[in-house]
Structure 1
Amino acid sequence: MSSTPKKLNAKTLRQMAREERLKLLDQLRAEYIKLQTQRARGIVENSGRIRYIRRAIARILTIERESAK
């Protein structure tokens, strides 16, 4: 997606507002589902993006759980 930041490391995500992180999480989940569908059909353009998105989702969820404590 064009609206996602280039680097989604933990430092960048922690600097974001919670609402921004949750919005980004929704966007990443939607893109992940789209790419999984493409992969199932055999037409995925960038298979490395799937791994990147999966890890970015995990980072966001980890930071959300840390801030909930």
Structure 2
Amino acid sequence: MKFTEIKDLSVTELKKRRTAFAEELFQARIKNSIGQLSNPLVIRDLRKNIAKINTAIVKKVAR
């Protein structure tokens, strides 16, 4: 997910997406621990997406 896509969303939508990504990250970590995750780089991408969303939320709230 690109930051340009994220910065146009509202704060409530960003929080919903952050929650969804956090749930996906949890499931990916569980699958990785039991060896069912085919691509462990998914975990890194999810963490980066959550960080981008957190950055966008902070920028919008600081205004």
Unpaired runs of 5+ residues, structure 2, are none
| Paired position in structure 1 for 2:33 | 40
Of the three residues 46, 52, 59, the one matched with 2:52 is 59
- The size of the alignment, in residue pairs, is 62
Please, what is the CA RMSD of the aligned residues?
1.0
After TM superposition, the runs of 4+ consecutive aligned structure 1 residues lying more than 3 A away are: none
Deviations 1:9-60 (A, max 9, x none): 1111011121111111100000000000111111112212111110000000
2:15 to 22, 47, 68: 22
Matches of 2:54 and 2:22 in 1, distance apart?
12
Q: 1:23, 1:63 → 2: CA distance? A: 13
